[in-house]
Chains A and B, each alone.
Chain A
């Protein structure tokens, strides 16, 4: 909440007279002002002895708030921005890329849902190493100490294929340099990190040759589920706010956001995502990862995608394996190699 007093210095029209007029109508902050009926306020200002300056003050306040908010864009401008700034990042896994139509989309929030050991963290680490290899920075929020530099080294070594050790070492060091990992153990810490990131991105503290393209939160559900209990709506509000903050960062700074959500047992024995109905409307894309019991086959299915209506299921195995795709029961299959 922003008190009106904070504008006093920069805007002479919002003086003590204007402020006391606002206070007499119960307006202490910008939020109060927005909730108040504007026409009624102007009518009161009219009857006041200093009506002219008061009305100028109201106009000033409106234009201050206007400047804080994004301008009206038309479809052409929006499409141009999307084509110029919203790139698609490869996850490094052909199967997932094909399912997503190329990879993770900048400006969008992609969610991986899956039970324990279904490959969520592996997919995150693979995406991080792939993006970092292409001269971009990755912010990795690790909530369970599951970030593994060894695994990154493995991914980098496997795909670069350099023979000479020192060259591979050099590349690996560069890749690891570009992945900035934060250990985050509660949602407030995450808010701190994200707000700091927002400030850094705005003031371009982050080195310009290392553009942050990917933000990973593995797993966001373990930060949010502890606060969801209890009787109040605060937990849900924090969850929704976290979603908005991530989407705002993604949209304004052209970052792809990847989060993971674990699975809990439902009442009827069917497992369901830990973040449920209210979270469903937060991510742009939802992928469900699952692993068949006792086997190495991992299934991915698309739960939601803004530009895909089809429901595809892909199967892949751990290790150096093959991918096949199934479409409904008709069962056309194609295969390609993937490393996971």
Chain B
């Protein structure tokens, strides 16, 4: 046995990494992501589904963009070095605003670096969905699309953002009559349930092959006074939607309208209140919102400020 062969065999027996190295590798991949405030209260991991609930406007999309920028930035800029996918169900995303916030964030820490800006923009992926079926199809084909991008850019997707999961709620509830003929009665009753189940099923499957953190927003579609027609509907789906009414000390109410199958997917839930009465004159160009963790329930409220530069926690 000559020296070269011996070296090869020893290398093979010797193992590839030490325990410390392995721990570091595992931690970096699956360990908690360090997101900036206000998402830093609870450790978030790949596979978690965070739902941000709030009336419109309450800076929900801003928080998504803030998290996206943190993910996009390279590690030595305080980011996570990941690609991000933004699914826009509301079709209201404003790329100009996104680029402004990214610009602000980069020039906050360093002098503005144009190549860094371009790098981050190239890592950000966007897809609008205009109807529930398009959303379903997108979820179904996402895996192959993400794989393709991964091969092209060599960067893994660890963050999926969905802006307003409730966007199609009314369409789903009514689309029985819009999409299906009278003869298909069984589908008619359970349409909302069927679509939600398919969405959740596709997300679960996606998470299995592609572990990532999912942050979704959900706008409150019922006002404080419940004079909505839904109260009169005694349908099958209405029973399956839980009618939780959350009443906080701010006297703000929100009613859950997503079916229970969706609620079972959500692992973290944040409630945002707008607080017009907290606007003070010494903070120009800013709006205030109160942020409450509902799942897991934390006993304190965070006060967040939205400025031109992004979202901050006001202490």
Contacts and interface: CB of A to CB of B under 8 A. Distances in A.
Contact of A309 (B122, B175, B307): B307
Interface in A49-89: 62, 65-66, 69-70, 72-76, 78-79, 81-82, 86
B219 A74 contact: no
A231 B285 contact: no
Contact of A239 (B91, B164, B170, B232): B170
B201 to A, nearest CB: 7
Nearest to A39: B205
Nearest to A37: B201
B163 to A, nearest CB: 10
Contact of B137 (A34, A237, A244, A281): A34
Given A34-B140, A244-B130, A75 B121 contact: yes
Interface string A232-255: 111111111100100110010000
Most buried by B among A108, A228, A236: A236
A86 B131 CA distance: 23
Contacts of B293: none
A148 B286 CA distance: 40
Contacts of B281: 328-330
A163 interface: no
B180 interface: yes
A75 B122 contact: yes
B233 interface: yes
B179 A31 contact: yes
B97 interface: yes
B144 to A, nearest CB: 10
Interface string B40-56: 00000000000000011
Contact of A240 (B99, B170, B230): B170
Contact of A232 (B57, B174, B223): B174
A73 B171 contact: no
Contacts of B220: 277
Contacts of A72: 85, 125-127, 145, 149
Interface size class of A (residues with CB under 8 A): 35 or more
Contacts of B130: 244, 247-248
B263 interface: no
Interface residues of B, number: 72
Contacts of A66: 137, 141
Given A309-B308, A310-B284, A231 B56 contact: no
A307 B100 contact: yes
B260 to A, nearest CB: 18
A14 to B, nearest CB: 17
A267 interface: yes
Interface in A259-297: 267, 276-278, 280-282, 284
Contacts of A276: 223
Given A72-B145, A233-B233, A307-B100, A78 B285 contact: no
Nearest to A63: B141
A43 interface: no
Nearest to B229: A231
B294 interface: no
Interface string A318-336: 0000000001111000000
B95 interface: yes
A206 interface: no
B123 interface: yes
A36 to B, nearest CB: 8
B90 to A, nearest CB: 6
B268 to A, nearest CB: 21
B183 to A, nearest CB: 10
A120 B219 CA distance: 27
18 contacts: A1-B180, A31-B133, A35-B198, A65-B137, A74-B123, A75-B95, A75-B98, A75-B124, A76-B118, A76-B121, A79-B121, A233-B230, A244-B130, A277-B223, A278-B222, A281-B164, A281-B167, A309-B285
Interface of A: 1, 29-31, 34-35, 37-39, 62, 65-66, 69-70, 72-76, 78-79, 81-82, 86, 108, 228-241, 244, 247-248, 251, 267, 276-278, 280-282, 284, 303-304, 306-307, 309-311, 327-330
Interface of B: 55-57, 61, 85, 90-92, 94-100, 118, 120-128, 130-131, 133-134, 136-138, 140-141, 145, 149, 164, 167-168, 170-171, 173-175, 177-180, 194-195, 198, 201, 205, 219-223, 225, 229-230, 232-233, 279, 281, 284-287, 306-308
